[in-house]
Amino acid sequence: MTHSRADLTVLLAENGLRPSRALGQNFVADPNTVRRIARLAGLGRGDRVLEIGAGLGSLSLALAETEATVVAVELDRYLVPILRRVVEPVGVEVIEGDAMTLDLAQLLDERGGGHWSLVANLPYNLATPLVIRALVEVPAINRLLFMVQREVGERMAAKVGDPAYGSVSVRLDYFARSSVVGKVPASVFLPRPRVESVLVRMERREEPAVPLDEVSYARLAAVVKAGFAQRRKMLRSSLAGVVDAAAFARAGIRPEARAEELSVEEWGRLAR
């Protein structure tokens, strides 16, 4: 069983709690939605899942139903005892801590290493840095399926030519192939947010889009951020002092081009 809206309301009331705005808490109050997330994540027996921001356990319970091994991280010390009571009986391991500071690579390595999926209802204000951190620092995570604010999700999955294409799109594309695989109405959350949400799926590339022996992620990110910081300008202006003027010709990139015209591979050539 997963939580209904009534279940969540009772859990909060019994423990004298309310969703925290500071932590961006919007709990999923619809069993169909959390089971849909688990299904889209493609989980089954033998798979291993890291859930970030488990809250009161709605998604944790749905993930446990797939018979995957689930490790759930939760920051809110007031929710952790409730979460443990709800999900530990079905085999979910709960870790209290901040996913932005925990050593996630070590945490997963201590639990057998290998491949892991990250599945989460991510706080809107932390989604981008958290996903980038997972891709940069936790190579064991090779699949991601998460719910996030629609505008953020569209930026993450955007390709060249899409209105939402930007710095985040390029930096994520370096590591993974991304797509928006569904929409989630605001009505399924408690409390109801003022924004729409989407489901984003990512598959880590076997090798980065730009070979590591040619360009590091740090170098690529620095060049991409500089280019998109003044996206209305031509690249020869926005990248002045960041790449040599002669680099455009060597990379086969027009200096009159603008940031949104370049694919991750072209950004890689320019950064190199």
**pLDDT tens figures, 211-220:** 888 899 999 9
What dotted CATH number matches 217-271? 1.10.8.100
- Grade residue 100 by pLDDT with cuts at 50, 70 and 90: very high
- Grade residue 32 by pLDDT with cuts at 50, 70 and 90: very high
What dotted CATH number matches 5-204? 3.40.50.150
- Mean pLDDT on 224-244: 93
pTM: 0.93
Question: What kind and span of H or E run contains 184?
Answer: strand 176-184
- Grade residue 49 by pLDDT with cuts at 50, 70 and 90: very high
Residues carrying CATH 1.10.8.100, the chain:
217-271
Which residue would you say has higher pLDDT here, 149 or 125? 149
- Grade residue 238 by pLDDT with cuts at 50, 70 and 90: very high
- Mean pLDDT on 138-154: 96
What pLDDT does 197 receive? 96
Residues carrying CATH 3.40.50.150, the chain:
5-204
What pLDDT does 48 receive? 98
Burial annotation 191-226 (CB, 10 A radius, 16+ → b, else e): eeeeeebbbbbbebeeebbbeeeebebeebbebbeb
CB atoms < 10 A from the CB of 21, how many? 9
pLDDT > 90 fraction of the chain, expressed in percent and rounded: 89
CA nearest neighbour of 171 among 131, 114, 118? 131
What pLDDT does 129 receive? 95
- Mean pLDDT on 195-203: 96
Q: What is the DSSP letter of 269?
A: H
- Mean pLDDT on 82-100: 97
What pLDDT does 23 receive? 84
Q: In the predicted model, is pLDDT for residue 1 greater than 80?
A: no
- Grade residue 232 by pLDDT with cuts at 50, 70 and 90: confident
